[in-house]
A and B are shown apart, each in its own frame.
Chain A
Amino acid sequence: MNRFMIIGGMACFWLFSPEALTLIGVSAGRGGYPAVSALLGWALIIAVCLSIMIVSSRLTAAGGEDSARFGGDEPLLLRVLLFAGIYGVAILASTGMLVTAGFAFNEIFFYRFPNFGFAALLLAGVVVLQQAPERVQYTIQYGATLTCAVGLLVLIVAGLMGERPVVESLQSPSGHGVLPYVTLVVVFLGFDQIALQADEGDGWPLLPVVFVGSSMVLAIWLLLSIQYVNGDRLADTSIPYLIAAREILGQAGRSIMGLIVIAGAFAASHGLFILARIYLTARYPSARTPVVRRGLPLIMGLVIGLLMVMGLAGSANLETYIRGTVLIWLSGAALAVLRGVRFLNQGNSVISVAGYVGGALMLVSVFFMASHASQPYLMGYYMGVIFVISAFCITLLEVMRKKSAS
């Protein structure tokens, strides 16, 4: 299996997802040009954090004295946070993204086909693909991610060559404070788990490079969104990517963006399914069985299908739930980075200081976003429930592991 395909497909699936594109567009509208700098700043910070995670996880995988110094198992709190974050986002964000892809297909390509039906077919496609050999999974994952990247590049080239309309930025972007810049960290969600992909093979230095390169593509897209669409339109919509694509290339731009949204939703959902499996099998070797490999995605698919049928996508609370799980995952990722820096034990190096600063900034961002949530009580309650359920699951898995070891 080509390492570049695995890295490319796994490093960028969230970056090109409809969730990230929405966040980028809304941040562009609310934050204006400084949002470009904020996105690139976060990209550099996350690239450093990613490199630290890669080096520490490779040293751990290599075994020996360093591995022992890492302390063996990760702390239980970290394990619970990552479990809650990964599985929560995999189920809830996939529900939202697949429904978004359903609307894109229905409204852009074939209006007679029910949007919900297309979302369900896409979900079935993800579950079926998870039953295929890993080589097939990663190849299609790479293809879907590449489709997003190429589509965005086509729109970017068209946007750079086209004539910019006269647009107005928001009169008072400062009304949103630093929130539009802080939330951009969510664009890089999942980097901590993607770092684990670098455990094998020699292609791992590619990972931060691909990550930063993709971030630069997104930064140019953010810049073009500001230049083609009025700030208030970008700030007040949840489909800013579609509006920007339409302004840049008309109906063709709309079709290209429709393809990006569908491929992006598929890649992101499938990528999250892969990360959910990796989380389990990397920590619990007894889970490396064909039953778990095939059964886990089936269970996740059924849960997502059930949530769709119950109408969760039509609930205003879905965004709050997704945000809650995203914050849990980010806090876990920040703690994982801080643990990685400590493990590398390079107290005086620039990388080490940057790692501490990056991890701390991520934690501060999580608290900041939580304190500015639109439904803070609902989100807090939900995060608490998810944490307790995850703690229960991890306890169960730990007991099973100890039993099988003894």
Chain B
Amino acid sequence: MRILIAALIIALVGAFSPVLAADVPIMTKEELNEKLDSADVVVIDVRQGRDWSSSEFKIKGAVRGENGGIDSLMASLDKSKTYVLYCS
């Protein structure tokens, strides 16, 4: 029984971990789809490692975030544009 509970905890931690990021503004795929052709919108694919390499889907025109972290990324960006960060 204890083992089953432990296994369940592993599953739940994994299954509901996206909830931890709930306070980050999220754009729906429909909203993004409407803006994809705009020159002022840049999609940054910040997925790394297997999160990126195992995924079959890559957004057309998206640029890949570098390894330097969000601070160095933000410092290099044109602040007049809208940036959409895409993670897994």
Contact = CB atoms under 8 A, between A and B. Distances in A.
Interface of A: 96, 99-100, 103-104, 107-108, 114-117, 119-121, 123-124, 127-128, 131, 238-239, 242, 294, 298, 301-302, 305, 308-309, 312-319
Contact of B15 (A104, A121, A294, A315): A121
B53 interface: yes
Given A305-B14, A308-B14, A313 B50 contact: yes
A340 to B, nearest CB: 35
Given A120-B13, A313-B50, 16 more contacts: A100-B50, A100-B54, A114-B18, A117-B11, A120-B15, A127-B6, A131-B3, A239-B53, A294-B3, A298-B7, A302-B6, A313-B49, A314-B47, A314-B50, A314-B51, A315-B48
Contacts of A239: 53-54, 56
A107 B55 contact: yes
A127 B49 contact: no
Given A124-B8, A127-B3, A128-B3, A313 B51 contact: yes
B14 A120 contact: yes
B18 A319 contact: no
29 contacts: A96-B50, A99-B51, A99-B54, A103-B56, A107-B56, A114-B17, A115-B88, A116-B18, A120-B15, A121-B11, A123-B10, A123-B14, A124-B7, A124-B10, A127-B6, A128-B3, A238-B50, A239-B54, A298-B3, A298-B6, A301-B10, A302-B6, A302-B10, A305-B10, A305-B13, A313-B49, A314-B49, A314-B50, A317-B49
Interface of B: 3-4, 6-8, 10-18, 47-51, 53-57, 67, 88
A120 B13 CA distance: 8
A114 B11 CA distance: 12
Contacts of A312: 49
Contacts of B50: 96, 99-100, 103, 238, 313-314, 318
A114 B22 CA distance: 14
Contact of B48 (A124, A302, A309, A314): A314
